[in-house]
Structure 1
Amino acid sequence: MGYDRELAERIREVLSGRPVREVSMFGGLTFMVNDKIAVTANTGGDLMVRCDPDRVDDLLDRDGAQWPSMRGRRMSKGWIVVESGRVQSDEDLRSWIEEALTYNAKTTGGGE
């Protein structure tokens, strides 16, 4: 499993005090909050964010945000990948994680 360990540690800091489980998936280390996918630290320091599908178009306008693909296929609406250079500051990282947590709080059930 390859993931950026520094990014993973920074994510842990932001999520401290929450019910978090770490799982290897999506080619990185995924952080599950309330048993639902929130964010993933990928190889190279990229951050994958589980977000509100209704917010994707607005979020893609942010610098470094891209629509992710897996195995050559574009993922469904509700996912964003943020380039490593755009999560260097704690403020930027926290902002993206807050997007994930806002959506996480709206959804029900595990494995979302």
Structure 2
Amino acid sequence: MYNARNQYIASRPTPDARSCINRHIYLAADWYAWRLSGLESGTSERDIYLATGWYQWQDCLTYSSPGDYYQTSQLDPDDPAYETASQFNWDYSTGRTYYWGSWMIPA
């Protein structure tokens, strides 16, 4: 499953620029391969075990300095017994359209 989109990402946007993608998903208990699909620096991936339940899945790009972005992905379980899982990546934009976000598949 994907939490991603095509979007134009400027190399020099306004100082407070931020873009997020949000989904509410239900997952079965399993190990998942969770991958960030970034801008120019490629991907980063980790395997994670997730309990059965509903999760808020959020991916964000936050502008930090000319051309540089901080990319985050979070899985926040609706069940307060479990902690929010996250991963991040520093990336950069040359000022074009990118397919960015994250995806997960059972590992």
- Point out the structure with the larger helix share: 1
Of structures 1 and 2, the one scoring higher in RCO (CA 8 A, sep 6+) is: 2
Task: Give the alignment's TM-score, normalised by structure 1.
Answer: 0.26
- Point out the structure with the larger strand share: 2
